Structure 1
């Protein structure tokens, strides 16, 4: 029994190493990759890798999800899901709102996981929210 557990542990280690070194693997291909390592499908291996990639990406880049998708090749929708997870765990913050360099859309969130960057931006000042309230009171 012990030998089998170590054997599977070794397989999982090799799978993790493979996924870490590979570009984004589409969700439909992930079960095939696991099978090629003689393992059942393990979504956790892929999920953990892509969460870590996005966390590290936004640690070095303060930009939009669309730009992150373009640069990392991880689908935009999946980046938004990871953003939600990281944000709910206090690991990511929207630091400003501006025009997206990738899509050209206005009022797009720029995000970061680098806590040193969080205080460099002033979201309220950028969006002029205080001016909106002043206009209403006049």
Structure 2
């Protein structure tokens, strides 16, 4: 986790904000961005100070990478356990089905008041599905 301005500068582009839902947000390091850093320290050792300083830096980076990977695994497990991904997929499938139904209904212009009501309900249902879909497309 990024806790200081110095860390934000040092790890610029290697973290993202987490939290929300009424909780404060915090900056979490991303392991994919951190993995190349120990190799960069070993590649140009003179840029990082003496041997002990480099060893401390490599140990710090290794610990941060392990912590970031652990957090990412925990997030994936929490998402899987919550069932939210399956619910999102199901909602998107229902939205596609509603869109298909609306397309079929639109091919037949309403001739009666009942037809107008059916069309209006289909359009409203589609709009509700779109609002809940969040992916922005039909």
Query: TM-score interval w.r.t. the shorter chain?
Result: under 0.3
Tell me the TM-score normalized by structure 1.
Answer: 0.26
Tell me the TM-score normalized by structure 2.
Answer: 0.26
- Greater RCO (Cα-Cα under 8 Å, separation 6 or more): 1
- Choose 1 or 2 for highest CA Rg: 2
Q: Which has the higher helix share?
A: 2
